[in-house]
Amino acid sequence: ELRQLKDEKTSLECRLNTLENERKFDLIKYEQIENECILLKSEIIKNEQIQPVIEKLQVN
């Protein structure tokens, strides 16, 4: 009985550790996606600022 409880405890600790690692990985992935979004938004803004200048140059 005691041995079974110890095994169960070890198994639960292992599962907890796995879940914590998955959570850390998910947080890193989320952060990476957030950073990508920020980068893309800044690219869009840059393009929006440059577009009128290019259009003016093309007209002339």
Instruction: Give the model's pLDDT for residue 16.
Output: 99
Instruction: Give the number of domains in the chain.
Output: 1
The tokens 């550790």 sit on which residue?
17
Mean pLDDT score of the chain? 96
* Half-sphere exposure in the Cβ direction for 18 (13 Å, CA): 6
Average pLDDT of the residues in 39-48: 98
Instruction: Give the model's pLDDT for residue 18.
Output: 99
User: 17 lies in which domain range?
Assistant: 1-60
Indicate the pTM of the whole model: 0.67
How far is Cα 21 from Cα 23, in angstroms, rounded to an integer?
A: 5
The 10 Å CB-count burial string (b at 16+, else e) for 11-46 is eeeeeeeeeeeeeeeeeeeeeeeeeeeeeeeeeeee
Q: How confident is the model at residue 59 (pLDDT cuts 50, 70, 90)?
A: confident
Is residue 60 predicted with pLDDT exceeding 80? no
How far is Cα 23 from Cα 46, in angstroms, rounded to an integer?
A: 35
